[in-house]
Structure 1
Amino acid sequence: MAINLDRLVGFHHTAVSLRTDRMEVIAGNLANANTPGYKAQDIDFNSAMNRALKDQKSPSGGNSNLVRTHESHMTGGPRSASSFDMQYRIPEQPDTGDGNTVEVQAERNRFLDNGLRYQASVEFLNSKIKGMKKALSSNGGQ
């Protein structure tokens, strides 16, 4: 019986990848908290996850817009979250006069929340892999 690893870990792998991309965006916001005119960004995680899962299910893997014109060209991999669903954040506090929309405390909270969710996704991924290893080792003697 063939084992489809994409079915086993695809969802959790995608979630970890998107959480990583979101962590980078939030870290960029925090790094630019004092940059005049900087506009805070974020990834709409739910929308990005839905699109990534839809792309995984499509026969072309979401790469239908890429055409290889030579056999030595690299094939396109799945898009990263940073290539779509980026949005500018609407600030909750009034402008301080420099045009920067980063709210440091809110960004720190988002960073921590995303980090916890990232860790949960990694734990789910680990449990899937451990379960597969256990199943393979118990059937190895037959």
Structure 2
Amino acid sequence: MVDKLDAALRFQQEALNLRARRQEILSSNIAHADTPNYKARDFDFSSTLAQAVEHGRQSQSMSMNTTSSRHIAGEATAGGAPDLLYRTPTQSSIDGNTVEMDVERVNFADNAVHYESSLTVISAQIKSMLAAVQP
């Protein structure tokens, strides 16, 4: 039962995690807009989400070795952070900084809207599951 619930919410969970990570990266780019030689970073959201969902389906996990029978068995999934790429600027800067504030603001706002919509979708999924189990 828990596996089915996990599978039903996995896509939205991965999407929310990646959107939050992308928001951090974009805000870091904005914060370093005046830092000389700072290179703007980002990642391809679509391919990273597809990899994360596929990895979740395979559910490869690692188990910890215990040295005593009283130890709690631990388990962790083998996951990783998205591959960060450098953004190619459309207009070069004299100080070597590749942050373009207009591009960063648009990406930041777009990512925030997608994050909110993902929250709305996952909230609706949870509400429909709760309605199905209540008498």
TM-score class, shorter: 0.7 to 0.9
Aligned partner of 1:48 in structure 2 is 48
Return the alpha-carbon distance in structure 2 between the equivalents of residues 85 and 111 of structure 1.
18
Q: Is the 8 A contact 2:23 2:108 kept in 1?
A: yes
Q: Cα distance, 1:67 vs. partner?
A: 6.2
Code of the aligned partner of 2:51: R
Return the alpha-carbon distance in structure 2 between the equivalents of residues 69 and 135 of structure 1.
40
Q: Cα distance, 1:59 vs. partner?
A: 3.9
Which segments of 5 or more consecutive residues in structure 2 lack a partner in the other structure?
Answer: none
TM-score (norm 1): 0.83
Aligned partner of 1:91 in structure 2 is 89
Q: Is the 8 A contact 1:25 1:42 kept in 2?
A: yes
Count of aligned pairs: 130
SS at match of 1:76: strand
**Aligned CA-pair RMSD:** 1.9
Aligned partner of 2:111 in structure 1 is 114
TM-score (norm 2): 0.87
SS at match of 1:97: coil
Cα distance, 1:15–1:135 mapped onto 2, change above 3 Å: same
1:73-94: CA deviation from partner (whole Å, max 9, x where unpaired): 85334535xx23211101111x
Code of the aligned partner of 2:98: T
2:124 to 120, 127, 135: 127
1:68 to 61, 64, 80: 64
Give percent identity, aligned residues only: 33
Code of the aligned partner of 1:68: M
Which segments of 5 or more consecutive residues in structure 1 lack a partner in the other structure?
Answer: none
After the TM superposition, list the runs of 4 or more consecutive aligned residues in structure 1 that deviate by more than 2 angstroms.
66-80
Return the alpha-carbon distance in structure 1 between the equivalents of residues 30 and 59 of structure 2.
39
